[in-house]
Structure 1
Amino acid sequence: MTQLESKGAATSAKRTLRGSLGVTAIVFMVVAAASPLTVVGGAGPLGILIGNGVGYPALYAVSAVILLLFAVGLSAMTRHVPRPGAFFTYIGYGLGRPSGLAAAWTAILTYTTIQVAVYGYVGYLLEITVVSLGGPDIPWWLYALATVALVGVLGYRHIDLSSKVLGVLLIAEVAIVLVLVGAVVLDGGPEGLSLAPFEPANIASGSPGVGLMFAIAAFIGFEATAIFRDEARDPDRTIPRATYGAVIGIGVFYTLSTWGLVMAWGPSGVLAAAAENPATLMLRTVAIYLGAVGEVIVNVLLLTSMFACVLSFHNVLTRYQHTMSSAGVLPESVSGVHARHLSPHVSSIVQTATAGVLLAAFALLGLDPLLQVFTWLSGVATVAIVVLMAVTSVAVIVYFTRNRQDRRPWNTVIAPALGFVGLAVSAVVIVAYFPVMVGDVDADGAPTFGVVTWALLALVIIVPAFGYLQAAWIRRRRPAAYAKLTDAIAG
């Protein structure tokens, strides 16, 4: 339960978050952020269409292995750094306060862009759904802004309410996808069941860098288990278990689900089916295998899945901002905890306003909600998160090499090093194919780094650079605040 901790009668109360979330509740929060049905029905068809086609399901398995290696070092840090903040905190402990602050701003960029990306998708899906039912043709951005407002209301209240909402929605969407895969397996599909998605030639086909980007993006949020440390029951045990559970669960589920999607149309027909309309591929598949009733259920659950996704990212963002405010990086008022709801309500308001302003700007620019808002911002978020995780892996190695608090070589050196290699290679491949995702290609379809590509990738450089500059400014101009930053980031 959130409480006010005082340090003497003369010291003002410091608001901190408290709770008793268990492994299941935290896994619900972070897996809901991964949004199973949104990934399978939204990102999956795009990964097949503009990624590596039939071989796309295998990239979830590849991503899961890389992220499991990364999670080993992350979990080791949670046992020795008893503070929330994840990347923000761990990079600060391993590589210094300026790097920690740069990581904090990069994490804000990651979660903000992926959240707004999904807002764009949910707005688009609501628009076409209402029109298909004979309703008025209302612009997508109005639906998106209405969703922002509803998420803001839930985010303002206690986290237990959010976790219960996410838990119910998560169980429903996972169940319907498994039912669909079961129906495909029983039917056998138009070309029979096969392991074609896992053949090397298919994995390397098309634009594997784009496919890898969508696959890794599906895991964004799993590392946020550490952010809920202050609200977890027995965090030294709960956080590592929740982290491993989230990665394994996400990896297995997405690999199986997208394999089922490919089998539903056949390896030779799924690409054409996705090209017809990637946004409706899942619904058309369900209509074939589960009938009209199943199609209606999935349509509803796809919308609630996206809602669960943005609600979960909202909760993660508000806690990142709460931690940064407590460190003196953001205005002190952002760290406020509601007296009755026991939530970081001011941070929630700030995040709601940020999402609303960005969506309004994209609407004014006339961007397409699916092929531009969702795809472009998902790309930015993925590059940023991969870089963050790679740097975190280095920070883990440096931290344990320096203080030797944990002498297990697999947990503190070997696994983090392997994770770093996997993440670094992934980052290079994703950046190389980034223009394809944006649409910066020449007449022959080859990627060319145009203005849009450079502008989007520049965000991953500019934002952390601002963090370094802010750290230098705080240290020089506000030494008391820098001392507070020191306490928050590096003990």
Structure 2
Amino acid sequence: MSDTTTGSGPGKLRGSIGVVGIVFLVIAAAAPLTAIGGALPVMIAIGNGAGAPTAYLIAALVLLVFSVGYAAMSSHMVDTGAFYAYVAKGLGESCGLGAAGLALLTYTAIQAAVYGLAAATIQGLVVQYGGPDLPWWMWALVLIALVAVLGYRSIDLGAKVLGVLLVLEIGIILALSFGVLVKGGAAGIDFASFTPTSFFSGSPGVALMFAIASFIGFEATAIYGEEARNPRRTIPIATYAAVIVIGLVYALASWAVVLAFGSDNVSDAAAADPAGLTFAAAAQFLGGPAADVMAIMLVTSLFAALLAFHNAISRYVFALARKGAAPRALARTHPKHGSPHVGSIAQTISATVVVGVFALAGADPVLQLFTWMAGLATVSILVLMVLTSVAIIAFFARTRLDTRLWHTRIAPVLGCVGLVAVTWLVLDNFTTLIGGSELLADILLAVIALFFVAGLVVARVTRQSRADVGQHRELTPTV
């Protein structure tokens, strides 16, 4: 009996998820309501004000161009390691494991950030409705437990849960958007948000930084390749669909929020009440109950993101273990669910540890846990995507498996240039993103470099270990 069946050793993931299911997983990780209700007001207040919707469109365009080469290369490989697997295929195993280090850091950090924000949000809602004022970390532990149960089981179940939550989430966002547009906003409908003047006002670099951060998780289209139906067709379609849907939803919803207060007044409104800006718009244009529903659905949005990130991390460690770069036990699959259940358990433990460290330190779940970890994840994922862009260019130049000029040369190069430009802007504004401490910014950037170097070291050690094993077998006499 195979290891996949027994769960006793490295196996193969099982699932039958289609294009729609994968798109749900990706958009769930992007957490649209969290982006519109939480990140957008800050983006407007300290970024480029009414020009925020254009920042989302630019981010989507850069990622869409990047996705051309990404999707083209997906036709030549199906590996649950996504960015890590692409970098390894294009630039070699050492760089691949360095990229894996960045990927694990990115998803671990962003998931910890979301646990902090979700726990603080639940704490506030419970107190608001007359419940007990429990410590935020207790709510975080409840969320960790729920995610652990769903993450342990088949990806098909997780996709169904995320699908339901996502339909509700997108529904309330579209209701707000159309409510504002139908009623004409605060001062009529205008398109100032999409003009160069608005985009370049204030700090467009900060706006782009938040916009790119809102797309974290879109590589999940390839992460689930092994569990997809007809992956060579499913992955490219899901990649394009996810980027386009996320970009359009963000642009539409952010434009509606701008119109709800007026292009000339939205910056002041966001600075005065960043936490309540979107919910105030919902109360005004949809009614008070709608704002209450949106606040509750913010929790489900955050939960959907947590589950999506949990699934991504567990599959990354599964891929690494199957390649021999992590303990082999992590490559086991569940005999019934076909899920990377050991990796899922390991991810649950790591999330508990990270959240526990911040809780024991008495850190604020939003100002410190969320802000620091989200900033760390943003830079890390950008570096990872730049590496992936270079790997795609190198792969097609070396193999000549695809000779389409746009798919294998022009689009990958343009995507790489765009990502490098965005990375430079983010680094230039990184101190602002994580709260203004230059020392903390330097420490977090050092952590990113450390994880990449750690991956290179692991590659060297595992390569030497395999060489030693091979040499031992050659020297061992046969009987």
Offset at 1:383?
A: 1.0
Q: Aligned equivalents of 1:48 and 1:145: distance in 2?
A: 32
Question: CA 1:127 to 1:481, structure 2 compared with 1: closer, same or farther past 3 Å?
Answer: farther
The answer to whether the Cα contact below 8 Å between 2:9 and 2:329 also exists between their aligned partners in 1 is: no
Equivalent in 136, 139, 142 of residue 140 of structure 1: 136
Residue in 1 aligned with 2:118? Answer: 122
Offset at 1:470?
A: 1.3
Say yes or no: does 1:374 pair with 2:362. Answer: no
Residue in 1 aligned with 2:475? Answer: none
Say yes or no: does 1:461 pair with 2:461. Answer: no
The answer to whether the Cα contact below 8 Å between 1:390 and 1:423 also exists between their aligned partners in 2 is: yes
RMSD (Å) for aligned C-alpha atoms? 1.9
The answer to whether the Cα contact below 8 Å between 2:4 and 2:332 also exists between their aligned partners in 1 is: no
Residue in 2 aligned with 1:81? Answer: 77
Residue in 2 aligned with 1:158? Answer: 154
Residue in 2 aligned with 1:180? Answer: 176
The AA in structure 1 aligned to 2:453 is A
Residue in 2 aligned with 1:333? Answer: 329
The AA in structure 2 aligned to 1:391 is L
Offset at 1:165?
A: 0.4
Q: Aligned equivalents of 1:207 and 1:72: distance in 2?
A: 29
Summarize the alignment of residues 104-253 of structure 1 with structure 2, pairs less than 5 Å apart: 104-253=100-249
Summarize the alignment of residues 355-434 of structure 1 with structure 2, pairs less than 5 Å apart: 355-434=351-430
Residue in 2 aligned with 1:303? Answer: 299
The answer to whether the Cα contact below 8 Å between 1:3 and 1:18 also exists between their aligned partners in 2 is: no
Q: Give a deviation string over 1:342-377, Cα, whole Å, max 9, x none.
A: 211111111111111111111222332223222221
Q: Aligned equivalents of 2:385 and 2:246: distance in 1?
A: 17
Moved more, 451-460 or 266-275: 266-275
The answer to whether the Cα contact below 8 Å between 2:10 and 2:333 also exists between their aligned partners in 1 is: no
Query: Structure 2-normalised TM-score?
Result: 0.94
Q: Aligned equivalents of 2:277 and 2:295: distance in 1?
A: 11
Q: Aligned equivalents of 1:58 and 1:231: distance in 2?
A: 35
Offset at 1:197?
A: 1.6
Residue in 2 aligned with 1:293? Answer: 289
Residue in 2 aligned with 1:489? Answer: none
Q: Aligned equivalents of 1:383 and 1:40: distance in 2?
A: 21
Three-state SS of the structure 1 residue aligned to 2:429 is helix
Q: Aligned equivalents of 2:271 and 2:361: distance in 1?
A: 26
Say yes or no: does 1:471 pair with 2:467. Answer: no
Offset at 1:478?
A: 4.1
The answer to whether the Cα contact below 8 Å between 1:40 and 1:282 also exists between their aligned partners in 2 is: yes
The AA in structure 2 aligned to 1:348 is S
The answer to whether the Cα contact below 8 Å between 2:14 and 2:337 also exists between their aligned partners in 1 is: no
Q: Aligned equivalents of 1:393 and 1:126: distance in 2?
A: 39
The answer to whether the Cα contact below 8 Å between 2:4 and 2:335 also exists between their aligned partners in 1 is: no
Q: Aligned equivalents of 2:288 and 2:297: distance in 1?
A: 14
Q: Aligned equivalents of 2:175 and 2:305: distance in 1?
A: 21
Q: Aligned equivalents of 1:5 and 1:140: distance in 2?
A: 39
Q: Aligned equivalents of 1:337 and 1:476: distance in 2?
A: 27
Q: Give a deviation string over 1:232-265, Cα, whole Å, max 9, x none.
A: 1111100000000000000011000111111111
The answer to whether the Cα contact below 8 Å between 2:12 and 2:338 also exists between their aligned partners in 1 is: no
Residue in 1 aligned with 2:28? Answer: 32
The answer to whether the Cα contact below 8 Å between 1:207 and 1:433 also exists between their aligned partners in 2 is: no
Say yes or no: does 1:100 pair with 2:88. Answer: no
Three-state SS of the structure 2 residue aligned to 1:253 is helix
Structure 1, unpaired ranges of 5+ = 7-11, 441-448, 484-491
Residue in 2 aligned with 1:343? Answer: 339
The answer to whether the Cα contact below 8 Å between 1:227 and 1:319 also exists between their aligned partners in 2 is: yes
Offset at 1:136?
A: 2.0
Moved more, 96-105 or 195-204: 195-204
Offset at 1:82?
A: 3.1
Equivalent in 314, 317, 320 of residue 318 of structure 1: 314
Three-state SS of the structure 1 residue aligned to 2:411 is helix
Q: Give a deviation string over 1:97-129, Cα, whole Å, max 9, x none.
A: 100000011011111111111111111111111
Q: Give a deviation string over 1:433-458, Cα, whole Å, max 9, x none.
A: 11112232xxxxxxxx7211111111
Offset at 1:400?
A: 0.9
The answer to whether the Cα contact below 8 Å between 2:192 and 2:198 also exists between their aligned partners in 1 is: yes
Question: CA 1:159 to 1:481, structure 2 compared with 1: closer, same or farther past 3 Å?
Answer: farther
Three-state SS of the structure 2 residue aligned to 1:340 is coil
The answer to whether the Cα contact below 8 Å between 1:50 and 1:437 also exists between their aligned partners in 2 is: no
Three-state SS of the structure 1 residue aligned to 2:201 is coil
Would you say how many aligned residue pairs link Structure 1 and Structure 2?
Answer: 469
Residue in 1 aligned with 2:440? Answer: 452
Q: Aligned equivalents of 1:482 and 1:390: distance in 2?
A: 35
Question: CA 1:481 to 1:428, structure 2 compared with 1: closer, same or farther past 3 Å?
Answer: farther
Q: Aligned equivalents of 1:190 and 1:140: distance in 2?
A: 36
Offset at 1:320?
A: 0.7
Q: Aligned equivalents of 2:468 and 2:25: distance in 1?
A: 35
Q: Give a deviation string over 1:117-166, Cα, whole Å, max 9, x none.
A: 11111111111111211222222222122111111111011111110000
Three-state SS of the structure 2 residue aligned to 1:114 is helix
Offset at 1:63?
A: 0.4
Residue in 1 aligned with 2:63? Answer: 67
